Amino acid sequence: MAKSKIAFVCNDCGADYGKWQGQCTECSAWNTVTEIRLGPAATARGRRSAREGYAGSRAEIRVLKDIDLVQVPRFGSGFAELDRVLGGGLVPGSAILIGGHPGAGKSTLLLQALCHLAVGGAALYVTGEESPQQVAMRADRLGLPVDKLQLMAETEVDAIISAAEEKRPRVLVVDSIQVMHSEGITSAPGSVSQVRDCAAQLTRYAKQSGVVLILVGHVTKDGSLAGPKVLEHMIDCSILLEGDQDSRFRTLRSSKNRFGAVNELGVFAMTDRGMREVKNPSAIFLDRAEDPAPGTTVMVVWEGTRPLLVEIQALVDDSSLGNPRRVAVGFEQNRLAMLLAVLHRHGGIMVGDQDVFANVVGGVRVTETSADLALLVAVVSSLKNRVLARDLVVFGEVGLSGEIRPVPSGQERLGEAAKHGFRRAIVPRANMPKQPIDGLDVVGVGRLADVLQALF
C-alpha cells in the first residue's frame, strides 16, 4: 500500500515546510502553518494524469515566427463593463478568479451574466454555498431568463468535472472555490491543499475542454485572497469586486490578466434589481452639493483606458493630540504624510499641529500619483477655509522637492473634464495641451508654490 505523505503548509501564503513551526518564515504570519495529509489516491491520480498528458505525444518545438496567429475568439458576457475589465470578453479555455468581500455581489453578478449567456449556449452554475432554491428565487426576483441555465449544488470537484463533461457548457461558474473539496485530500475545505488541488483540477479541465471557468474566491479582512497565493499563478485572470457595504457602487478591477491590460476599472451599482452597469461613472462620482464647501476639489484619475472625474475632500482641524492624526480613505496613508511634508517645506504651509483627514468620494480607491496635487489643494482649501471654484479640476504628481511632475494621458483627462462642463484646469506644465481645448482654461504649473499662489 502506498504511504500517505504529510506536509506542513502555511494557510496564508502556501509555503511548504518539513516540520511544524509557529510562524511562517515566508509571510511572517503566526499560527498559520498546519499539517496536511496528502492521500495516496491523490498522488496516484496525479502521476497517472501526468503520464497520460505528457507521455507518448510530446509537443513539438517550433520557432515563434512559425506559429499561426489565430485571433483568440472571445465572446461577450452580457456586461460591457465586465468584458472591458477582462480585456474584451471571455476567452474559451481560460480560468478567471473573481474575488470580493462577502456581500459584494459576486454571486449576483455571475448569476445575471450566466442567465443571459445560457440563452446563447449551455452554461453551468455550480453553487456550493447557496441552495438551488435560494439561487432560483434570486433569479426569479431579478426577472432573469431562467429557462436555460443549468444549476448544480455540489462541492465535490470530481463530480463537477464529470457533470461538465456530460453537459459541455461554454461557461462554468464555481461559487466558491473555498468550499470545494477533492476526494484525495483529507484536510478541511478552504485549507491550502484543498483550494490548491481543486483549483488545479478545475483549471486543467478548462484548458482541456475549452470551457470558460469562473471561480469565485473570498477575500480576507485585509483584502487579499483567502487561502493560498498560489491560486493566482494557476489562473489567467484575477479580478476583484470592491465596494463599501454602505455604498451601492461596486468597482471591478483586474490585478492579473493574461489576455489584456490590468487596472481596467468597471463600475456597477447594486440596485434592487441586481447589479446594473454604470455607463458614465464620472457623472456619478461627481454628484456634488449645490454650494461647495471648503476642502473639496475635483481631480481626473486615469483608470485602465479611460479617465474618471472624482471628488476629493480634506478636513484640517486643530489637534488635541500630541501626535496629530493623518487619516486617508481611498488612498495611501504614507503618501498623505509625505505630501504634507512637501507642503510644509516647499509651500510654506504648516499642518504639524492639525489633524488631517482626506477622503475620495464615492468609495473609489485611487492608486495613481496624479491625485497628489488635488489632495494638497483640498488640504490648503480646508485649512484656509477658502472655497474653490466649482468648475475647477486639478491633477498632477508632486515630487519631494516641490516640483509638479507630468502624468500620462493629460490630453484625454482634460477632454473628459471639458466634457463634464469644467472651465478651469490646473495641470503640470508638461501636460499643457498642444491645441487649446474648447471652453477650458488650462493653467500649467511647475512648482507647488505657483499653484498655491494661483489659487489662494
List of residues contacting ligand TYD (CB under 6 A):
100, 102-108, 138, 142, 270, 272-274
103 interface partner picked from ligand TYD, Mg ion, none, CB below 5 to 8 A per type: ligand TYD
Show the 3-state SS of the chain: CCCCEEEEEECCCCCEECCCCCECCCCCCECCEEEEEECHHHHHHHHHHHHHHHCCCCCCCCCHHHCCCCCCCCECCCCHHHHHHCCCCECCCCEEEEEECCCCCHHHHHHHHHHHHHHHCCEEEEECCCCHHHHHHHHHHCCCCCCCCEEEECCEHHHHHHHHHHHCCCEEEEECHHHCECCCECCCCCCHHHHHHHHHHHHHHHHHHCCEEEEEEEECCCCCECCCCCHHHHCCEEEEEECCCCCCEEEEEEEEECCCCCCCEEEEEEECCEEEECCCHHHHHCCCCCCCCCCEEEEEEEECCEEEEEEEEEEEEECCCCCCCEEEECCCHHHHHHHHHHHHHHHCCCCCCEEEEEEEHHHCCCCCHHHHHHHHHHHHHHHCCCCCCCCEEECCEECCCCEEECCCCHHHHHHHHHHCCCCEEEEEHHHCCCCCCCCCEEEEECEHHHHHHHHC
Q: Give the interface with Mg ion as residue ranges (CB under 5 A).
A: 107
Shortest distance in whole angstroms from residue 193 CB to ligand TYD: 24
Name the residue nearer to Mg ion (CB basis): 102 or 421. Answer: 102
Measured between alpha carbons, how far is 156 from 7 in angstroms, rounded to an integer?
22
Shortest distance in whole angstroms from residue 104 CB to ligand TYD: 4
Name the residue nearer to ligand TYD (CB basis): 111 or 300. Answer: 111
Name the residue nearer to ligand TYD (CB basis): 226 or 425. Answer: 226
**What are 266's strand-pairing partners?**
252
Q: Give the phi and the psi of residue 440 in degrees, each rounded to 5.
A: -120, 125
274 interface partner picked from Mg ion, ligand TYD, none, CB below 5 to 8 A per type: ligand TYD
413 interface partner picked from Mg ion, ligand TYD, none, CB below 5 to 8 A per type: none
Shortest distance in whole angstroms from residue 231 CB to ligand TYD: 17
436 interface partner picked from Mg ion, ligand TYD, none, CB below 5 to 8 A per type: none
Name the residue nearer to ligand TYD (CB basis): 131 or 385. Answer: 131
Shortest distance in whole angstroms from residue 275 CB to ligand TYD: 8
Name the residue nearer to ligand TYD (CB basis): 226 or 308. Answer: 226
Shortest distance in whole angstroms from residue 102 CB to ligand TYD: 4
Name the residue nearer to Mg ion (CB basis): 179 or 366. Answer: 179
147 interface partner picked from ligand TYD, Mg ion, none, CB below 5 to 8 A per type: none
Measured between alpha carbons, how far is 402 from 448 in angstroms, rounded to an integer?
5
Shortest distance in whole angstroms from residue 51 CB to ligand TYD: 39
Shortest distance in whole angstroms from residue 272 CB to Mg ion: 18
108 interface partner picked from ligand TYD, Mg ion, none, CB below 5 to 8 A per type: ligand TYD
Name the residue nearer to ligand TYD (CB basis): 137 or 454. Answer: 137
Name the residue nearer to Mg ion (CB basis): 107 or 381. Answer: 107
Shortest distance in whole angstroms from residue 366 CB to ligand TYD: 23
408 interface partner picked from ligand TYD, Mg ion, none, CB below 5 to 8 A per type: none
Shortest distance in whole angstroms from residue 183 CB to Mg ion: 25
Name the residue nearer to Mg ion (CB basis): 106 or 181. Answer: 106
Residue type at 215 in one-letter notation: L
53 interface partner picked from ligand TYD, Mg ion, none, CB below 5 to 8 A per type: none
272 interface partner picked from ligand TYD, Mg ion, none, CB below 5 to 8 A per type: ligand TYD
Q: Which residue is nearest to Mg ion (CB)?
A: 107
